[in-house]
Amino acid sequence: MSIVAERLNSVKVSPSMAAKARVDALRAEGRDIVDFTIGEPDFPTPDHIVAAGVDALQGGHTRYTSAAGTPALRSAIASKLARENHLTFAPEQVVVACGAKQIIFEALSASLNAGDEVIVPAPYWVSYPDMVAIHGGVPVIVASGPAAGFKLTPEMLEAAITPRTRWLILNSPNNPTGAVYSAQELRGLADVLVRHPRVWLLTDEIYEHYVYGGASHVSVLVVAPELAPRTLIVNGMSKTYAMTGWRLGYGAGPLPLMKAITLLLSQNTSCAASMSQYAAAAALEGPQDCVHSAVALFSQRRDRMVALLGQVPGIDCSTPDGAFYVFPSVQGLLGKSAGRTLATDADVMMYLLEAAGVATIDGTSYGMPGFLRLSFATSMDRIEIGCEKIRAACADLR
């Protein structure tokens, strides 16, 4: 008789973590692997943020905080949301956790009953469907392909809603595609949600600052403030400030939900690390030059990776508007062979890893077969080397 709960049978290991394990194993064998699976900035946490964390340690701020976070950080987050996103939240409506991922997990834990449905547009961040399943919910996957710009349309949303629908999860800028919803597109989705008052909205805005060209990030509550009583804004420090290892995320939303999330936090992690909270406050309230520099750097890398992949026959790479990933179609490579036939995007992923020493993640893991996700959160030199290796490996296919 197994000790493992039956509901875990439907949960997969995170493909991102699995990809990292593959890369680590090959590097341990002495292989030079160009890693395009990276989901974090490749530069260190800015000095003034690190200094704030060190000051917190040396100042004795190493004890538990309140489960919802320190008053100083919750106020800093509320001020940030007003200043940058034009959203009004009281500090009491803000909860801090060990990463944005935990906020999403606890929100689903606090709100889902067995059989409740959660609409997840595909391509999706790999953890959304599994977190829904862990809590007894049913992920309803709605595919939004390249013809729709990898974005959910109002018609798709309307068709997916049932009497069991509890949440819509929206991620803009999107991981893995880099798609960014415009104000008009958000308004169209909001109009559908207005007609279905039982459906809540979880909007993951972790890549908000990474937008390029003419694209801009807009929070849905700016265009649809009437949804505020049933919307959870999720964000964090990991991507914007290169603080992935500090494990600091936050949510802002209706007070009853935030109290429920805080209750759950009090029973599992107790609180986010106190020194990370001090560093996060310094990040939000300090100079933002580091953010602007990162955006400019990623924009250059994006353009270079798109240009290089565009030269590879069989790969069709569109230019993303946000995040730090490209999501090219590899359907032109399917059916080709280099000793064995590449039948799926996973086959292409493994071929590039084994033959070229380039690590990517298959689109199937994101709910969109026939594509690969490649991160440009790595140096220009590695981008050029990796894309050349991909070109050479694809040239060997027949």
19-44 pLDDT tens trace: 778 888 888 888 899 999 989 999 99
Reference 122, options 376, 371, 374, 377; nearest CA is: 371
Higher pLDDT, 69 or 38: 69
- DSSP summary character for residue 1: -
Amino acid occupying residue 92: E
The answer to whether 141 and 122 have CB atoms below 8 angstroms apart is yes
Interatomic CA distance for residues 350 and 341, integer angstroms: 12
Helix, strand or coil for residue 202?
Answer: strand
Reference 167, options 176, 157, 177; nearest CA is: 157
According to the CATH classification, is domain 61-285 in 3.40.50.11600? no
Averaged pLDDT for residues 157-172: 98
pLDDT of res. 1: 73
Locate all alpha helices (DSSP H) within 4-163, ordered by sequence.
15-28, 47-58, 71-85, 100-111, 127-134, 154-160
Averaged pLDDT for residues 256-262: 98
6-31+290-395 and 61-285: same fold?
A: no
pLDDT of res. 321: 98
Confidence of residue 219 (pLDDT cuts 50, 70, 90): very high
- So where are the chain's domains? 6-31+290-395, 61-285
**Which pairing describes strands 231-236 and 358-359: parallel, antiparallel, or unpaired?**
unpaired
Q: Is the peptide bond before 123 cis (omega within 30 degrees of 0)?
A: yes
Domain 6-31+290-395, CATH homologous superfamily name and number? Aspartate Aminotransferase, domain 1 (3.90.1150.10)
Confidence of residue 190 (pLDDT cuts 50, 70, 90): very high
pLDDT in tens, 94-147: 999 999 999 999 999 999 999 999 999 999 999 999 999 999 999 999 999 999
Amino acid occupying residue 319: T
Amino acid occupying residue 185: E
Least trusted range by pLDDT, from 20-34, 103-117, 182-196, 378-392: 20-34
pLDDT in tens, 328-343: 999 999 999 988 899 9
Mean pLDDT, the chain, as a whole number? Answer: 96
**Helical axes 274-285 vs 47-58, angle rounded to 10°:** 140
pLDDT of res. 381: 98
Taking 90 as the threshold, does the pLDDT of residue 249 lie above it? Answer: yes
pLDDT of res. 197: 97
Taking 80 as the threshold, does the pLDDT of residue 17 lie above it? Answer: no
Q: Indicate the helix (H) or strand (E) that contains 391.
A: helix 380-395
